[in-house]
Structure 1
Amino acid sequence: MTTLSTGPIENNPVLGVRPAQLVTVKIVNRAAEEVLVINILGYFLGNTRTLYVSEVVEIAPDEVVTRDYFADLDSFEFLFTGDDLGEKAGISVWGKQADGQLVDAHRVVTHEKWSDEL
């Protein structure tokens, strides 16, 4: 079992508006024949770590799934758990403004910023 983490992502308000109001998660299954089962966990990070997203996603071979989640929070973190994620799954997380504009500082893509946990 592999667990990948975005690590804590700061999203403090600037002039009263947080940089990201949404988080888009894209996952591609690179396995030739295997269906991937991935658990997506999103946490609000305040004085405590509070779970606010919990979704299990099944992804067919060569399929790409996109999920959008609420992110108008001061700080958040996403975890992805499944078998051999590093080899079989391409995962990216994108912070977005309410109008859909990407927030470059809130971008985490496969093989760039991921940290292995547990």
Structure 2
Amino acid sequence: MAKAEEPCPLSGHPNRKVRTIAGAQIVFDGEGFLRNPEDWPEEVARSLAAESGLKEWGETHWQLIRFMRAYYFQHGCVPMNRDLKAGVKMTLMDLEALFPGGIRGGARRVAGLPNPKTCAG
């Protein structure tokens, strides 16, 4: 797994940080969410998951991450909990337990999706 460099402030934007992960410079907000979901290669997911304390990474994690990203790019918003449950056929409790930080602070961050605080509705 590629080691991520320490974040450095993006000039003029104190709430944005630029980090190099897997050879790519990626802009994050102050809470560690990607500013642009299109800047997300899968190696970023592995690095962010490891940083969050996720010790084991398997196909179930990828299933959730890929569903969340596909839904986001198809619908322009992140899936609601009911959509997640139906899309990956897991209970909400099982989904929350997959990532440290649960769905919002864990899976959503690892998937490279926007900060929940920046989304309307």
Instruction: Choose between structure 1 and 2: higher helix proportion.
Output: 2
Query: When the two structures are superposed, what TM-score results if normalisation uses the length of structure 1?
Result: 0.25
Instruction: Choose between structure 1 and 2: higher strand proportion.
Output: 1
Query: When the two structures are superposed, what TM-score results if normalisation uses the length of structure 2?
Result: 0.25
